Amino acid sequence: AALALIGWALDTQAPVESDVQKLVPSSLPALRDLQQLQKVSGVGGEVNVVVEAENAASPAVVAWMTDYQSRVLRRLKYNPQRGCRGSDLCPAFSLPDLFTTPASVSSQERVDALLDAVPPYLTQNVIAPDRKTATLAFGLRLMSLDRQFAVLRVMQSELNPPAGVRARLAGLPVLTAAANDRLASPLRRWLALLASLFVVGLVLLLSFRSWRRALIPLVPIALATGWSALIVFVTRIPLNPLSVVLGTLVVAIATEFSVLLSERYRREREDGLVPAAALRATYKSTGAAVMASGTTAIAGFAVLVLSEIRMLRDFGLVTVIDLGVALVGVLLVLPAVLMLAEPDAMRRRVARFRRKPLPGNSLS
């Protein structure tokens, strides 16, 4: 139990690798194309700020977009002399770029006249035909999703549009960075693990209509999640967006093993066998089947360890560890739990507790 507690605590410190350049082979054509794009243009992706207003081309809205762009680039230390190669974020073609002088946005008439004069193939990329939606684009360099999320948080923190104007971040980088942040969050991982244990316990309780039959299989399951987290931390295997949620997989598979063995033991006890004999009969029959099923599942995932894609390789390695610990945990811990949960054993412990003298009541 102590090792499981240590594992749960250390699981929050396990590193999560989210840099796509490290998770896939460097020879992958798609990655090489993306790196070549960044080498030529200075960026590997784009994030947009979508601005919505009754008139997104009003001088006030354009002025706010220009100010917002300047503030964000200043906070992220963008240097115009070094361009996109010197910063995580750089400006891309947007609505304010059409207005090169303060005079061009001095009045609504000047703004409308300039937009009417610009060819549609240019304006359609930065403002909708009804002029109620405009975009402010930024180029993003290739980086880990953690670092990308930090950049997007800076952008989000500077979003303070004037009254009547709505602004939001949009684009695939926004979705992927936010999803990775939720997956990698230690608190969310804890909550997901606790939720899976709670749901499993609730399902068992509804199925068996017995607290004792529902809780017995949960003990080795809960311990296995902590042990596997401890082993992964000690071996320094980095987690990734695939392997970071494997705790729920351990719960699911260990539940199957634990329920099969505990219910077979109950049947053997109902047939009149004493606890020791019931355990031997359980593990001789169902235990062998559980061992075979668990071993084949581990062998199947072990194939992923041979993959040249690091994300799949690490996922396979973590899965093998988790499933192996779950299998061993159930096979070794469940017998002790079953013995401790025997009515006679529980009555003996209660009786010993009642006979134990209270402090200060012993005769001198």
pLDDT > 60? residue 263: yes
- Strands 45-52 and 89-91, sheet pairing: unpaired
pLDDT given at position 105:
83
The answer to which of 58-62, 103-107, 180-184 has the lowest mean pLDDT is 180-184
Closest CA to 38 of 125, 136, 137, 139: 139
What does the block give as tokens for 264?
A: 């077979």
pLDDT in tens, 121-167: 888 888 998 999 999 999 888 888 888 899 999 999 999 898 999 99
- The whole-angstrom separation of Cα 197 and Cα 77 is 46
8 CB burial (10 A radius; 0-12, 13-18, 19+) = buried
The answer to which of 43-52, 236-245, 331-340, 348-357 has the lowest mean pLDDT is 348-357
pLDDT > 50? residue 224: yes
Query: Going by C-beta distance under 8 Å and a sequence separation of 6 or more, which residues neighbour residue 249?
Result: 319, 322, 323
pLDDT > 80? residue 329: yes
Q: How confident is the model at residue 53 (pLDDT cuts 50, 70, 90)?
A: very high
What does the block give as tokens for 209?
A: 């209509």
pLDDT in tens, 194-219: 888 899 999 989 988 888 888 888 88
The alpha carbon of residue 356 and the mean position of all alpha carbons in its chain are separated, in whole angstroms, by 49
The answer to whether the beta carbons of residues 282 and 267 sit under 8 Å apart is no
Higher per-residue confidence, 42 vs 229: 229
SS3 at position 337: helix
Pick the CATH number of 42-180 from 3.30.70, 2.60.40, 3.10.310, 3.40.50: 3.30.70
pLDDT > 50? residue 364: no
pLDDT > 70? residue 171: yes
322 CB burial (10 A radius; 0-12, 13-18, 19+) = buried
Is CATH 3.40.50.720 what the domain over 2-13+186-351 is classified as, yes or no? no
238 DSSP assignment: P
Strand ranges, E, within the chain: 45-52, 89-91, 133-140, 166-170
The answer to which of 200-209, 249-258, 342-351 has the lowest mean pLDDT is 342-351
pLDDT given at position 360:
52
| Secondary element (H or E) of residue 317 | helix 310-340
Query: Going by C-beta distance under 8 Å and a sequence separation of 6 or more, which residues neighbour residue 3?
Result: 226, 227, 230
Taking the CB of residue 111, how many other CB atoms lie within 10 A of it?
21
What does the block give as tokens for 43?
A: 């960026």
pLDDT in tens, 23-35: 777 777 777 877 7
Query: Going by C-beta distance under 8 Å and a sequence separation of 6 or more, which residues neighbour residue 125?
Result: 93, 135
pLDDT given at position 152:
93
- The whole-angstrom separation of Cα 149 and Cα 341 is 48
- The whole-angstrom separation of Cα 288 and Cα 286 is 5
The answer to which of 221-230, 286-295, 331-340, 342-351 has the lowest mean pLDDT is 342-351
pLDDT > 80? residue 168: yes
Residue 127: strand pairing partners: 134
- The whole-angstrom separation of Cα 304 and Cα 13 is 25
pLDDT given at position 167:
93
pLDDT given at position 166:
94
pLDDT given at position 363:
40
pLDDT given at position 362:
46
Higher per-residue confidence, 225 vs 156: 156
pLDDT > 80? residue 359: no
- The whole-angstrom separation of Cα 239 and Cα 232 is 9
Mean pLDDT, the chain, rounded, equals 83
Domain ranges within the chain, ordered by starting residue: 2-13+186-351, 42-180
Percent of the chain with pLDDT over 90: 16
Most confident residue range from 129-138, 311-320, 344-353: 129-138
